[in-house]
Chain A
Amino acid sequence: MSRETDEFLIEKGLFLTAISSVIVIALIIIFIFWEGYPAIVNVGFFNFIFGMDWSPSNGLYGVFPMIIGSLAITGLSLLMAVPLGVFCAIFMAEIAPGKMRKILRPTLQTLSGIPSVVYGFFGLIILVPFMRVQFGGTGFSMLTASLILTVMILPIIVSVSEDAIKSVPSEYKEASLALGATHWQTIKNVIFPAAIPGVITSIILGMGRAIGETLAIIMVAGNVVQIPTSILDPVRALTSNIAIEMGYATGTHYNALFATGIVLIFMILILLVIANYFHYKKKVTVGGGYL
């Protein structure tokens, strides 16, 4: 076989592997739309998206409380995880002595390696009773779910943010220190602003995990279809809705669950677009190229 054919085969082979993931995603999206579309037509677009009641046995398919539920759980967990994660990343990248880092890093890696069902079971057995004793109610709540999610997305935020902070060119830091700034001033005014695009990426990744998380949420969120009026109310997320009922659903109910998936895809797309906008807006282009 000549070198040209070798080259040709390898090129095409690499192209195939690259394109296969695109094809898979396209197929999945087509399938979800194919299965979900009949429900949206049957129920009506506005009744589906803005309907307040989800009761398949009575023919009511409204996902609005679940859209709010998903957003609320994700938002609340980001509110807790982002400051925690970013400060932890700054500590690990800039301040922690080598020994400390050697303990912290494997700990965080372990945290990200724990399967979500274990988080969920831990939440159900330990956290739910604790929340009930502390705050009353049933213990199944948005707050409980968000706390579990916070722990789950923390490793992603820390590790990606830490990489971003570490990849800030050392000239920046050296220049700042040479001008007489303290270490903290350098972190606050030079290193962190330069690392912001990477930090935003870490938040996007964390958000993606949070909004897509299913099993742990099912076990601790209470799964009540309602718009929460306080963070102690039980809620149902879009993902939970699909997972809980998929086993039984037939007919319109089955299609409605796929339609729930369509809503979820669009929500993630919108959030990704917003996050990417900030990512590019904050890009630093000083000195050696951009970060």
Chain B
Amino acid sequence: MERKYIIGIIILLVIIVGAYMVFAGGNKQERITIAGSTSVQPVAEKLAQAYMQKHPNVKITVQGGGSAVGLKSVQDGTADIGTYSSKLKDNESAGITSYEIAKDGIVVVVNNANSVSDLTTNQTMGIFGGNITDWSAVGGSSGTINVITREEGSGTRDAFISLVMGGKNGTAILKTAVVQSSTEAVKQSVKGDPNAIGYISLADLNGDVKAVKINGVTPSEQTISDGTYKIQRPFLFLTKGQAKGATLDFINWVLSPEGQAIVKEAGAVPEK
């Protein structure tokens, strides 16, 4: 009996020491933690992947959580880089350095079968605010408009509100609008409903849904980059104070032509 206990304890000790050595061994690597906006996340993941391939001694982990989480985690130090997908408000930026790594357009999407292909900013505001309720009012065939929006706190929603609806004190998004909690769910909802309208990030646009022109401008990398497409927002990397060490190297690489090429590959619009 006694011998069994002793052997058990020895095995346990060996396992604990072994595990400790394995994990402690990884400490020689540089670690960068990125957290925040779910809109920036796919871009950041691609960037991290490419960077880690070139620099095997750097380990980058990318997490989502939303822009608010990005700001909060960089403020309290749980992440080295916080990602943020709208303009930083003045009262939030104390002690924070922001690096604009890309631009993104918010695309208003309708079903592929919808004949409407052009809306003005006012019409878009009217539709999402609930003042325009039928497609015939904006040149389509008649049918009740089914508005699909994103959840409270979503970076895409915040950007849409500030860029289209006139900010927090502007027109409120229709209260009875269906709320979907992801880009994919919005796309699937619009794809399945000829009368639906929603908004997604340009990076996520594909053949499932149709992007409408806003004030006659087609959303594209070109029109976002030169500023003619108005519904756009910056993708920011935030650091506490000035970035330094491995974090600074990474950000510099992201802003280099090499990094910007990957930004483009990931579907976002690179800085010039």
Contact of A128 among B65, B176, B192 (CB under 8 A): B192
Query: Is B180's beta carbon under 8 Å from chain A?
Result: yes
Contact A223 B193 (CB under 8 A): no
The contact string, 1 if C-beta is below 8 Å from chain B, for chain A 236-252, is 10000001110111100
Contact of A247 among B1, B66, B148 (CB under 8 A): B66
> What B residues does A245 contact at CB under 8 A?
151-153
Query: Is A57's beta carbon under 8 Å from chain B?
Result: yes
A226 CA to B179 CA, complexed, in Å: 12
Contact B178 A138 (CB under 8 A): yes
18 contacts between A and B (CB under 8 A): A6-B1, A125-B192, A128-B193, A132-B193, A138-B146, A138-B196, A140-B189, A218-B181, A219-B180, A223-B178, A223-B181, A224-B177, A224-B178, A225-B175, A248-B69, A248-B153, A249-B68, A249-B153
The contact string, 1 if C-beta is below 8 Å from chain A, for chain B 57-78, is 0000000111111001000000
Interface size (A, Cβ < 8 Å)? 31
Query: Is B10's beta carbon under 8 Å from chain A?
Result: no
> What A residues does B196 contact at CB under 8 A?
138
| Distance to closest chain A CB from B147 (angstroms) | 9
Contact A224 B185 (CB under 8 A): no
The contact string, 1 if C-beta is below 8 Å from chain B, for chain A 138-160, is 11100000000000000000000
> What B residues does A249 contact at CB under 8 A?
68, 153
Query: Is B168's beta carbon under 8 Å from chain A?
Result: yes
Contact B179 A224 (CB under 8 A): yes
A89 CA to B233 CA, complexed, in Å: 57
Contact A129 B192 (CB under 8 A): yes
> What A residues does B192 contact at CB under 8 A?
124-125, 128-129, 132, 139
Query: Is A56's beta carbon under 8 Å from chain B?
Result: yes
Contact of B65 among A226, A236, A247 (CB under 8 A): A247
A223 CA to B189 CA, complexed, in Å: 13
Chain A residues with a Cβ under 8 A of chain B: 1, 6, 55-57, 124-125, 128-129, 132, 137-140, 218-219, 222-226, 234, 236, 243-245, 247-250, 253
Beyond the given A234-B178, A244-B181, please list 11 additional residue pairs across the A-B interface where CB-CB is below 8 A.
A6-B1, A56-B153, A124-B189, A132-B193, A138-B148, A219-B180, A223-B178, A224-B175, A224-B177, A244-B151, A248-B154
A132 CA to B64 CA, complexed, in Å: 33
| Distance to closest chain A CB from B11 (angstroms) | 18
| A139 to B, closest residue via Cβ | B193
Overall SS of chain B's interface = mixed
Contact B185 A219 (CB under 8 A): yes
Contact B151 A226 (CB under 8 A): no
A249 CA to B154 CA, complexed, in Å: 10
A234 CA to B177 CA, complexed, in Å: 9
Query: Is B122's beta carbon under 8 Å from chain A?
Result: no
| B72 to A, closest residue via Cβ | A250
| Distance to closest chain B CB from A139 (angstroms) | 7
The contact string, 1 if C-beta is below 8 Å from chain A, for chain B 168-201, is 1000000111111100010011001100100000
A247 CA to B192 CA, complexed, in Å: 27
| B196 to A, closest residue via Cβ | A138
A224 CA to B177 CA, complexed, in Å: 7
Query: Is B2's beta carbon under 8 Å from chain A?
Result: yes
Query: Is B20's beta carbon under 8 Å from chain A?
Result: no
Contact B193 A244 (CB under 8 A): no
Contact B152 A226 (CB under 8 A): no
Q: Which 8 A-B pairs have the closest CB atoms?
A: A248-B153, A223-B179, A248-B66, A129-B192, A222-B178, A244-B151, A138-B146, A244-B181
Within 8 A of A (CB), among B9-68: 38, 64-68
Contact of B193 among A55, A57, A129, A253 (CB under 8 A): A129
Contact B38 A138 (CB under 8 A): no
Most buried by B among A129, A138, A218, A225: A138
Contact A57 B168 (CB under 8 A): yes
Contact A138 B193 (CB under 8 A): yes
Within 8 A of A (CB), among B125-179: 146, 148, 151-154, 168, 175-179
Contact A247 B152 (CB under 8 A): no
| Distance to closest chain A CB from B151 (angstroms) | 4
